[in-house]
A = this chain, B = another copy of it.
Amino acid sequence: MPRALLLVCDGLADRPVRELGGRTPLEAARTPNLDALADSGITGIADPVAPGVRAGSDTSHLAILGYDPLKVYTGRGPFEAAGMGIEVMPGDVAWRCNFASVDERLVVLDRRAGRIQETEPLVEALGSIELPGVEVELRSLGYRCALVFRGEGLSHRVSDTDPHATGVEVAPARPLEPSPEAERTAELLNTFSAMAHRVLEGHEVNRRRAKQGLPVANYLLARGAGVVPELEGFESRYGMRGACIATTAIIKGIARLAGMEVVEAEQDYLDRARQALRVLERCEFLLMNIKEADEAAHDHSPERKVQVIERIDALVGELLEFARDNYLVVMSDHTTACSVGDHCGDTVPVVIAGPEVRRDGVRSFSERACASGGLGRIRGMHIMPILLDLLNRSEKFGA
């Protein structure tokens, strides 16, 4: 039976760029393999979540995997925590945190504490903190850290303690709704933050950094509170073993929460293509996320984005043969405009290649070329049903 590879190029789609003569980076790049794929496949455009909605990578990937983000997504924290390897459980409340430097009045001096790497001893020390009726879990990766509260009577409806700026004070968490759960969670987070500040201030890692003139990691700024959703397992939902190759914690976290196998990505793109084909020998479905085009657009760099796209095109070249007897979907999870340096709500191009698609007249893969394709305009949530149908794995509704 045919298998499926869903290649999501993060932030691939863009708006017309003046420096590129009004072309998008995808239109400006030399992409013979993506164009061959478009020529042999059926194309279209997709609203990751809904028309005009500026999707995050998290909400978009949830939708593309068939999980309605409007139902399961409350904040980024849970997916980040799962991606960092914490065994989160439905109902847990989780935050993304940064180790930060604050002064004695709790004014933020550096939101990333000089991008400190040595945070494992700090996390270990923070493990001694106990809160009434709540189990606390922490995991760090450099200056980034995930924080999880587990227990009864919690709510994710609390504000960030991260002021999202330097030169201003840490923001005490406030309840965002008038419920006892939100009030209690805000109090617990404030208590935890104060206790963590004391533990971190006295820690030898920070004493050493202070002596070396490095920013100290003496505060944990929390943001993106969310409650861990109960996602129906990918395999039970689709009858396929699903795997994920990604480099970012958030995508890995979504895959983990969906019960998919998470595979550490090879560094080199061509190696990664071959890795994908190996994984597809044991799984019927693979989600592969490639991050770098998004990063180039966040950095306002259309030239770098064009280069990344040409490297992605080479990777796609390694997959063309796979797409003869199997299904290969290439799409973007959202538009990231170089002009804006952030995500936009514009549509993204989609191509589906494989043995039984209704090949259309579109011959190149771009935001505009795909707009006249045979798929028309679909949504992220439609990708899995369309793919399952092509794989002949759908249940019939009716008779």
Q: A51-B385, A345-B385, A346-B358 are in contact. Are A340 and B392 (CB under 8 A)?
A: yes
Interface residues of A in 338-362 (CB under 8 A from B): 339-340, 342-346, 356-360
**B358 & A16 in contact (Cβ 8 Å cutoff):** yes
Closest B residue, CB atoms, query A356? B15
With the chains together, A16 CA to B358 CA distance in Å? 6
With the chains together, A94 CA to B55 CA distance in Å? 40
**A54 & B368 in contact (Cβ 8 Å cutoff):** no
For residue A185, CB closer than 8 A to chain B, the reply is no
Per-residue CB proximity of A361-399 to B under 8 Å, as 1/0?
000000110011111111100101111111010111111
Q: Of B343, B356, B360, which one neighbours A368 at CB under 8 angstroms?
A: B360
For residue A215, CB closer than 8 A to chain B, the reply is no
**B371 & A60 in contact (Cβ 8 Å cutoff):** no
Interface residues of A (CB under 8 A from B): 15-16, 22, 24, 45, 49-60, 69, 73, 76, 224, 250, 337, 339-340, 342-346, 356-360, 367-368, 371-379, 382, 384-390, 392, 394-399
Q: Of B24, B76, B372, B382, which one neighbours A398 at CB under 8 angstroms?
A: B76
**Highest count of chain B CB atoms <10 Å: which of A50, A378, A389:** A389
Across-interface contacts of A73 in B (CB, < 8 A): 397-398
Closest B residue, CB atoms, query A52? B385
Across-interface contacts of A16 in B (CB, < 8 A): 356-359
**A397 & B69 in contact (Cβ 8 Å cutoff):** yes
**B224 & A378 in contact (Cβ 8 Å cutoff):** no
Across-interface contacts of A340 in B (CB, < 8 A): 392
Q: Of B76, B367, B374, which one neighbours A358 at CB under 8 angstroms?
A: B367
Known A-B contacts: A52-B388, A57-B399, A58-B399. Give 8 more (CB < 8 A): A15-B356, A15-B357, A45-B374, A45-B376, A52-B382, A54-B397, A345-B386, A372-B372
**A385 & B57 in contact (Cβ 8 Å cutoff):** no
**A397 & B55 in contact (Cβ 8 Å cutoff):** yes
With the chains together, A389 CA to B389 CA distance in Å? 32
With the chains together, A55 CA to B385 CA distance in Å? 12
With the chains together, A56 CA to B396 CA distance in Å? 7
